[in-house]
Structure 1
Amino acid sequence: PVRVDDQYLHTVKLTRRGREGSLQLDNYPAVTGTSQGVLQVLNTPGNVYLGGVPDLESYTGGKFSKNFKGCVMRLELNGVAVNIPAHALFGVNVNVCTTS
């Protein structure tokens, strides 16, 4: 495991192509996986959560109890910057980033 609670900025890159997905933190090797079933796209029936969720234990069936706490400085989808405050419905433990 790599710690990210060190007060430094980190880069997370998520990729999804068909059923294949990967997550890369900073310059560490990416972790990859394949979704089950035949679906080839990432679709959601409701909201997409970035950072934390209101009731983490309910959303994860009790698998996790500690929510995200930190800041998100920049978000890009398909190479296009997303104005997070303009699209956010509400926030849970997501703070304004500082560059210090």
Structure 2
Amino acid sequence: MRTLRCIALMGIALCIAQEANARGEDLRSTADGATAESAVSAAKVKLIKACRKRSGISDSESFRLVSEDKIAHPEIRKPYQVEASMKCDIQGDGASRDQVTNNR
């Protein structure tokens, strides 16, 4: 009976440890577009893909623009450039990942 209790407690401890191992990371990405809206949309898509690539769950509500620029050169097809960030909940594997940057 004592062994059964030990196994049950170890199972509960393992479940708690896995939940504690999940953490949120701040992903950053840059994108450009013909309009400001298309640049923002492209940045959001890049961030969601980067989060999925890391087997995470993206938090769309945490999406925010870090910077937004417009290049005033007439020959540039995509003059709007944005930098954005989004939180991503990733199951930890023990690796140290403080901030992941995903550039172009």
Scaled to the shorter chain, the TM-score interval is: under 0.3
Higher helix content, 1 or 2: 2
**TM-score (norm. length: structure 2):** 0.17
Higher strand content, 1 or 2: 2
**TM-score (norm. length: structure 1):** 0.18
Q: Could you say which structure has the greater relative contact order, defined with CA pairs below 8 angstroms and 6 or more residues apart?
A: 2
Q: Find the structure with the greater CA-based Rg.
A: 2
